[in-house]
Amino acid sequence: MANIYPRIYFDNQLVPKDEATLHVASSAVLYGLSVYTVFHVTVENGNYYAFRLKDHFKRLLDSCRIIGIDTFGQDWSYDAFEADMKELLQANSPTKNVFVRASFHVNELLPGTRSRGLKTSLSAFVYDADPIVPTDGARLKTSVWRRTPDYSIPSRAKVNGAYVNSVLARQDAIDSGYDDCILLDSSGHVAELSAANIFIVRNGTLITPDTNTDILEGINRRTVIELADTLDIPVAQRSIDLTELYIADEVFITGTSAFLTPVLVVDAREIKAPEDAITKTLSDAYYDALLSPKSPYQTLL
């Protein structure tokens, strides 16, 4: 399990790791009523560079709006959030790259199944930037579980309770000897992984499920689409059939905790990427954008 750094931001202050606890009767515990995001921080010469921090904050706000957690937007501005993340990193002084998980919990005892007008608290902790899949190549299995559709628990909102769906599917893949799962949407099209988006390459075109396919609108997915545009690689956002994965020239995944990882196997079928693979071109551009302090996506904390 990843190492968690000792100081945690909890309820408007920094506290020791063991004191950052939520009440057993809070809505966050009872219903998974909290939203979260995880962002990458590059550490270089004692400086902290957060990747696409504004986009992460915006997605937290959007998630709250979708779920109806209305006290968050009132209490928090981006500037306050950035200042708190800075304080958190400086209190922990990591010397290597880390992830920060920031969450807004509904921290109210037994309010029943509702979301508006309830007290929220921001928490954030720093942990080692260990990838969730082997970054030199992942092996994926299509899950028997389907991605929770937008009309049940919106995938576009990054809400903690929804991750039971990811846990079911990924545990099943691990039990079968794979690294992660592929979740199909309710109509049988490829959606995403437990915590990553998916791309394929066919005949020189980069293809990824469109945002109406019950996916989380991943910030790294958006980064790769932007980089592909800059590199003049044609991009299509459309429905993908499972069998297209089997015959794709290349398959790769993106996500904060999955970075950009090539896929080697899907359902026991090997993906054989050609030497001049588009994945390699995009991967070089992606890691440069993620890790270079000069990248326009960085916020210096």
Supply the minimum distance, in Å, between the C-beta of residue 153 and ligand PMP: 11
What CA–CA distances, in Å, run from 245 to 80, 114, 140, 229, 233?
Answer: 43, 40, 11, 22, 19
Among 106, 255, 263, 283, binds ligand PMP (CB under 6 A): 255
Q: Give the residue from 40, 95, 42, 39 showing the smallest Cα distance to 293.
A: 42
Interacting residues with ligand PMP between 149 and 168 (CB under 6 A): 166
**Is 136:265 a contact under the CB 8 Å cutoff?**
no
Supply the minimum distance, in Å, between the C-beta of residue 218 and ligand PMP: 3
- With DSSP H G I counted as helix, E B as strand and the rest as coil, what are the percentages for the chain, rounded to 5? 30, 30, 40
Supply the minimum distance, in Å, between the C-beta of residue 192 and ligand PMP: 5
Interacting residues with ligand PMP between 265 and 294 (CB under 6 A): none
Interacting residues with ligand PMP between 63 and 122 (CB under 6 A): none
**Is 46:167 a contact under the CB 8 Å cutoff?**
no
Measured from each CB, the residue nearest to ligand PMP is 218
Instruction: Give the residue with the Cβ less far from ligand PMP, 26 or 254.
Output: 254
Supply the minimum distance, in Å, between the C-beta of residue 230 and ligand PMP: 18
Q: Give the residue from 198, 233, 244 showing the smallest Cα distance to 218.
A: 198
Supply the minimum distance, in Å, between the C-beta of residue 221 and ligand PMP: 6
Instruction: Give the residue with the Cβ less far from ligand PMP, 61 or 196.
Output: 196
Among 92, 107, 256, 298, binds ligand PMP (CB under 6 A): 256
Supply the minimum distance, in Å, between the C-beta of residue 19 and ligand PMP: 27
What is the contact mask toward ligand PMP in residues 16 to 45, using x (rule: CB under 6 A)?
A: ----------------------x-------
For residue 292, give the 3-state DSSP assignment.
Answer: coil
CA angle 218, 140, 268 (to 5 degrees): 155
Supply the minimum distance, in Å, between the C-beta of residue 195 and ligand PMP: 4
In the chain, the N- to C-terminal Cα span, in Å, equals 26
Interacting residues with ligand PMP between 194 and 233 (CB under 6 A): 195-197, 216, 218-221
Looking at residue 270, the DSSP 8-state letter turns out to be E
The span from the CA of 97 to the CA of 50, in Å, is: 10
For residue 287, give the 3-state DSSP assignment.
Answer: helix
Instruction: Give the residue with the Cβ less far from ligand PMP, 69 or 219.
Output: 219
Residue ranges binding ligand PMP (CB under 6 A): 38, 166, 192, 195-197, 216, 218-221, 254-256
